[in-house]
Amino acid sequence: MATASDKIRRARPLLGTFVEIEVTGAAKSAMNTAIDAAFEAVAWVHRLMSFHEPDSDVSRLNREAFVRPINVHDWTYQVLQAAVEMHRRSNGMFDIAVAPELQAMGLLPGANDQNPIDAEARAFDPIELLEGQKVRFRQANVGIDLGGIAKGFAVDRALEVLRGFGAAGGIVNAGGDLAVFGEAPQAVHIRHPRDPRRLICSVEITDGALASTARRFDPFQSADTASSAIIDPVRRRPAPAIDGATVRASSCMTADALTKIVMIAGTDATELLEHYNANALLISTDGDVQITPDWHHAVYLAA
């Protein structure tokens, strides 16, 4: 059955979704070894940053970081640095400390027995990054969830592994958050947020990352959409008016985090997108598609 081919694509269930990895332009055995190592990098990010795994860095921080500084893995520290910077630059719109709200909504397990802190009583920046990869929370009852950024980081690490194996090209797609490298442009089709069976457009991408966020739906239950899992940290409730957002950036971590801001800020996110050298496409509740001006040449709409 093993035929000579210059391309291998495989998929595994990881990060609560399907992670798909493709490599091109190397010997078959080398490509399979690279894909195995890339899947391992994704699994490692999951073990470090899962809210659900009791031994993850995130769970250790949520249990103890208010009591004492906690030492975390270099990768976790990098993600926290990026998240804290994104939080500051977006004036709090990007916020990893919304775990108590997500728990209260039933979107994360284990509702806090103590009440979440009032929005007013909460410090703007409760996460303190210390020397030597140590992290401390400035307030009690702070709960972080890296669900809005860690998937993008996992994609970046997997792509880095593929590059390290000297493949000509590759793509890592973690349930829609993806990154590509190599000469050949890739076409990515974006689902319609209100009807996941429909594809709304095709986006062309070369050497870069693309992340998407949409209102929540469960493809096994129904195509009907439920409310978004994006919380507006200022109003502490689900963000309105936009059904879906897709962001292109040089890293998938940045693209992943920026989708959350675009879902809340819409076209007001322009300045921040420019700062991160990113482009965006958003689908508003009235069905209109809006694209940042320097990017529409790469977007092909279904019509």
Partner 1 sequence: MTQWVRYTLPAAAIVSVASPAYAMQYLSIEEAQKQAFPSATHFTEVQAGRVWKAEAGGRVAGFFIFDRVIGKHLYIDYAVALTPSGGVHAVEILQYRESYGGEIRSPSWLAQFVGKNSGSSLKINGDIRNIAGATLSSTHITEGVKRVLAAYGNRLR
Binding residues for partner 1 restricted to 164-203, rule: CB under 8 A: 171, 173, 175-178, 184-203
The HSE-up count of residue 20 (CA atoms within 13 Å, CB side) is: 9
Residue with tokens 């910077």: 85
Residue 245 three-state SS: strand
Q: Which stretch binds partner 1 (CB under 8 A): 62-70, 121-129, 158-166, 219-227?
A: 219-227
Whether the Cβ atoms of residue 158 and residue 34 lie closer than 8 Å to each other: no
Q: Shortest gap between Cβ of 149 and partner 1 (angstroms)?
A: 14
Total residues contacting partner 1 by CB under 8 A comes to: 73
Q: Shortest gap between Cβ of 197 and partner 1 (angstroms)?
A: 5
Find, among 273, 199, 264, 191, the residue nearest to 229 by Cα: 264
The HSE-up count of residue 270 (CA atoms within 13 Å, CB side) is: 8
Torsion of CA 250, 255, 258, 264, to 10 degrees: 140
Query: If binding is defined by CB under 8 A, does position 64 make contact with partner 1?
Result: no
Q: Shortest gap between Cβ of 122 and partner 1 (angstroms)?
A: 28
Query: If binding is defined by CB under 8 A, does position 214 make contact with partner 1?
Result: yes
Q: Of 4, 13, 54, 106, which lies in the binding site for partner 1, with binding defined by CB under 8 A? A: 13
Sign (positive or negative) of CA dihedral 174, 175, 178, 180: positive
Q: Which stretch binds partner 1 (CB under 8 A): 12-20, 77-85, 101-109, 232-240?
A: 12-20
Q: Of 121, 131, 221, 224, which lies in the binding site for partner 1, with binding defined by CB under 8 A? A: 221
Angle between the N-to-C axes of helices 28-49 and 57-64, in degrees from 0 to 180, rounded to the nearest 10 = 10
Cα–Cα dist 252/178, whole Å = 7
Query: If binding is defined by CB under 8 A, does position 115 make contact with partner 1?
Result: no
- Cβ count near 131 (within 10 Å): 6
Q: Of 91, 139, 227, 267, which lies in the binding site for partner 1, with binding defined by CB under 8 A? A: 267
* 43-44-49 Cα angle (round to 5): 100
- Cβ count near 221 (within 10 Å): 8
Cα–Cα dist 22/12, whole Å = 12
Q: Of 97, 161, 210, 258, which lies in the binding site for partner 1, with binding defined by CB under 8 A? A: 210
**Range 19-58, binding partner 1 (CB under 8 A):** 20, 32
Q: Of 2, 54, 114, 121, which lies in the binding site for partner 1, with binding defined by CB under 8 A? A: 2
Of residues 61 and 108, the one with the C-beta less far from partner 1: 108
Query: If binding is defined by CB under 8 A, does position 241 make contact with partner 1?
Result: no
Q: Shortest gap between Cβ of 93 and partner 1 (angstroms)?
A: 18
Sign (positive or negative) of CA dihedral 21, 25, 28, 31: negative
Sign (positive or negative) of CA dihedral 132, 73, 106, 63: negative
Of residues 47 and 138, the one with the C-beta less far from partner 1: 47
Q: Shortest gap between Cβ of 134 and partner 1 (angstroms)?
A: 32
Q: Of 11, 27, 67, 123, which lies in the binding site for partner 1, with binding defined by CB under 8 A? A: 11
Q: Of 4, 114, 121, 220, which lies in the binding site for partner 1, with binding defined by CB under 8 A? A: 220
Query: If binding is defined by CB under 8 A, does position 18 make contact with partner 1?
Result: yes
